[in-house]
Structure 1
Amino acid sequence: MSVDVGTRLRFVRERQNLSQRELARLTGVTNSTISLIEANRMNPSIGALKRILDGIPIGLAEFFAIEPDAPSRFFYGVDELTEIGKGAISYRQVGESLFGRSLQILSETYAPGADTGRVPLMHDGEEGAVVISGRLEVTVDGERRVLGPGDAYYFESHKPHRFRCIGTEPCHVVSACTPPSF
């Protein structure tokens, strides 16, 4: 089975509202090379493709997981959420793949004492959530708050942030971020 790299590249580039010229500037790959790839007149090496995808940004795995003819799906049962992180913090994503999506929705469960780490997270976009149960300490740009059931947060994700479960019971949060970045 051959993979239509050109059509996929055009799709992810246009989804980010980037012209071929803008993507070339971001990645250091020539505009003509991007044009040839999108026209399926050139097959890039994995290294060159990764460099181009870093400018979008999208990982190689997600890029090759694209199923252009996949039927639309609107509903997901609790057992159909995709686990994308397991351990002291469980991240269960709505939908199998976020290709072509602008929003990522997660059902997060933090074990007592679970923490996203001492180094704050930072990335492009926005994120928000509602605490369903338990208590979650949220630190954003140096400001710290403990949130309980029904409390919420919403901030620009480029601000340093981290999360920690407070207390003896697990904390459950339903969150969303745009663009998908987890």
Structure 2
Amino acid sequence: MLRMGERIRNRRENLNIQINDLASTIGVTPSLISQIERAKAFPSIVTLKKIADALQTTVGNLIGENETYMKKPVVTFSEKKLVQANESGATLYLLSHHDQQKVMEPHLIVFAPKTSSENLLNATVGQSFYHILKGNLKIEMNFQEYLLGQGDSFYVNSGYKHTIYNIGDSEANLLWISSHPTL
């Protein structure tokens, strides 16, 4: 619990909030905040939630829920996670660790020759950025076609239904980064 107190203190100091002000905001004594930050006292879940709200963060961040991702931010290529493959032969991989706090999702889509993204990409709220790493692709969206080659990029509102096709005779690789609005 020592680390939780350090996280609270660091967050409070980064926001330039004094102990007295935080205590007043959440209805406790400054002494209690000081004890919590020094791991001499442990807050109830209700108090911890009030602290998190006052510090504009989450209880999960204060208790270190996502620290494992901060300690190991690297995902090697061999560690990429298979998300799904479709019937046409395209495969979707996740290129990051799972984290509920993420606002971006990096993926790799591997297209066998003459395959498509059908049933891999769902129209969602947010935005998508595609970068062609290898091969030649066609993107169909809103009754228009866009032809893209290695090194080309495409940025789109994810809510628009679109399908990507490998129009080449060899494997194509596409980096896909999608963003989701924060609540």
What TM-score, normalized by structure 1, do the two folds share?
0.57
- Give the C-alpha shift of residue 70 in structure 1: 4.8
Q: Residue in 2 aligned with 1:82?
A: 81
Alignment partners' CA distance in 2, 1:90 and 1:174? 12
Rounded Cα–Cα distance in structure 2 between residues aligned with 1:162 and 1:168: 18
What one-letter code is carried by the residue in structure 2 that aligns with 1:76?
A: V
Aligned to 2:110: 109
Contact kept? 1:98, 1:104, Cα under 8 Å: no
Q: Which one has a bigger Cα radius of gyration?
A: 2
Unaligned runs of 5+ in 1: 1-37, 40-66
CA RMSD of aligned residues (A): 2.4
Q: Report what 2:126 is aligned to.
A: 125
Residue 148 and residue 156 in structure 1: after superposition, are their counterparts in 2 closer, same or farther (change >3 A)? same
Q: Structure 2: state its 5+ residue gaps.
A: 1-44, 47-63
Q: Which has the higher helix share?
A: 2
Post-superposition Cα deviations, 1:161-182, rounded to whole Å, max 9, x if no partner, equal: 11111121111011100119xx
Q: 1:166/1:145 Cα in 2 relative to 1: closer, same or farther (>3 Å)? A: same
CA distance in 2, matches of 1:132, 1:95: 18
Q: Please state how far the C-alpha of 1:121 moved relative to its aligned partner.
A: 4.3
- Over 3 Å counting, the alpha-carbon distance change for 1:107 and 1:116 in structure 2 is closer
65, 69, 77: which is aligned to 1:68?
65
Supply the AA of the counterpart residue of 2:76. G
Map of 1:163 onto structure 2:
164
SS at match of 2:65: coil
- Structure 2 residue aligned with 1:29: none
Name the aligned partner's letter for residue 149 of structure 2: G
Q: Is the 8 A contact 1:121 1:162 kept in 2?
A: no
The percent of aligned pairs where both chains have the same amino acid is 14
Comparing 128-137 with 68-77, greater Cα deviation is found at 68-77
* Residue 62 of structure 1: aligned partner: none
